[in-house]
Structure 1
Amino acid sequence: MGDPSSQPVFVLVRPQMGENIGAAARAMWNFGLDAMSITAPRDGWPNPKAVAMASGAGRLLDNARLHDDVAGAVAGCSYVFATTARGRDLTKPVFSPEAAMARAAGMIAAGEKVAVLFGPERTGLENDDVARANAIVSVPVNPDFASLNLAQCVLLMAYEWRRQAVEVTHETVPLGKGDWASRIEVDKLAEHYEDRLGQAGFFFPPEKAEGMKLNLRNLWSRMRLTRADVQMLHGVMRQMVRWKERG
């Protein structure tokens, strides 16, 4: 299990369905979180339905801390976030999930203990629960359908935590066994096509030829080609020429 002091504690407040507790455990462990607390679960604890749903994340449930109320769950925390989709008549900072987890990461790095509260499925957090929090996390959901499933909300917050805790590669293109084509290889491919297309009379009428060649060169430069791509495209043109010559 991970070090509880290096991550926020996710507190499930009065969860109702064991299946949702198990799904929340899976969501947490998907993103490397394993510090779970549970307050007053409706169907008691332990819950076999939670274990069944948790699958490979069952160890989170084995190590989950059980509390009678929110006060006990957050007693050792210096900062508490409350997740809610509803407006509140309470004066508190309101964070997006991303900003909340960025703040949490900074606090935890400084040695503080942070908790995130998640409300029960039917009603969400009550005002008494939110009153114990330092700040609110508001998810920008559809206002006509604002209720998030418990595990979905946990997944969203766990994902945002993961983005803050580890370096995320936002885009990558696996090359397999190939390499990217060099500029000179792409230039040679462009020349091959330009020569053959010129012989075929493609650049017509003459006054538009330079513009057409420029557009074609621009097309090649926009494409990210591998060496295998370049070889294949050379082969395509060679085969077309052979086919024409045979005809």
Structure 2
Amino acid sequence: MTAPTPAFVLVRPQMGENVGAAARAMWNFGLDRMRLVAPRDGWPNPRAVATASGAGRLLDEAGLFDSTAEAVADCDTVYATTARARGLTKRVVTPERAMQEARALSAEGRRVAVLFGPERAGLENDDIARANAIISVPVNPAFASLNLAQCVLLTAYEWRRGTADVAAERIEMAGASPASVLEVEKLAEHYEQRLDAAGFFFPETKAPGMKLALRNLWSRMPLTRADVQIFHGALRQLTRRDNGAE
């Protein structure tokens, strides 16, 4: 059984466009449990649908509640996003840390919610008092205000970033084949021979270290077979011209 994803609760959102943009941001990172608390302009909102751009299903399935208390009543752990101090004794974590905890809790079958406040002033203390911890984004303290959809996107990204199905860093091969160890070795030998003939490895006492550095350079490069052929061809052409051939 797949662990439940966090519910993103938009508390008293003011603009349908921001709700739609938040839905789009959520779905970009595989989150689809949206809840709405007393949207200012009512619900459903055609402006939200227009902005969602392909994530309309989240709006169709969004839960609608009259209060924050009702929206999180079935949850085990609640986080509240805010950019400013509220005078409440509360644990404060980054989005990264919060989503690490959320993944662990979800894996245990616990239900997690994240509260996002209205665009004008954010969550009220009464909302935050219902949360177990505060999420604070490390933004510029001189300009800490984040758009609702931006805050949703940052938090959703941190959720997605830690999931097992996100690919690690990779090189997009675009149909090319990686060069084999032997092909890179032959390329290194080709350059070493030509450079040696040109007197590159000078003085002689430094030649072994220079050759080792070049071999290490070739092995660090993520070469394709086509890359190897280009390097061979370029060197052949350069040496041909140096020898007076056209």
Q: Tell whether the structures are fold-level matches, with TM greater than 0.5.
A: yes
The answer to whether residue 76 in structure 2 is matched with residue 74 in structure 1 is: no
Equivalenced residue count is 245
Task: Tell me what 2:189 maps to.
Answer: 191
Question: For residues 112 and 54 of structure 2, what CA distance do their matches in structure 1 show?
Answer: 26
- Quickly say closer, same or farther: Cα 1:160–1:178, change in 2 above 3 A: same
- The Cα shift of 1:94 comes to 1.6
The answer to whether residue 228 in structure 2 is matched with residue 230 in structure 1 is: yes
What does 1:1-247 correspond to in 2, within 5 Å? 6-247=4-245
Moved more, 56-65 or 146-155: 56-65
Question: For residues 187 and 224 of structure 1, what CA distance do their matches in structure 2 show?
Answer: 13
The residue identity in structure 1 corresponding to 2:5 is: Q
RMSD: 2.0
More helix by share: 1
- Contact map agreement 1:12 1:120 (CA 8 A) in 2: yes
- Give SS of 1:6's match: coil
The residue identity in structure 2 corresponding to 1:16 is: Q
- Contact map agreement 1:4 1:34 (CA 8 A) in 2: no
Q: Report sequence identity in percent.
A: 67
- Quickly say closer, same or farther: Cα 1:168–1:200, change in 2 above 3 A: same
- Contact map agreement 1:5 1:113 (CA 8 A) in 2: no
- Quickly say closer, same or farther: Cα 1:208–1:163, change in 2 above 3 A: closer
Question: For residues 83 and 170 of structure 2, what CA distance do their matches in structure 1 show?
Answer: 34
- Give SS of 1:246's match: coil
Moved more, 104-113 or 175-184: 175-184
TM-score (norm. length: structure 2): 0.92
The residue identity in structure 2 corresponding to 1:34 is: D
- Contact map agreement 1:11 1:38 (CA 8 A) in 2: yes
Moved more, 115-124 or 191-200: 191-200
The residue identity in structure 2 corresponding to 1:36 is: M
TM-score (norm. length: structure 1): 0.91
Moved more, 237-246 or 67-76: 237-246
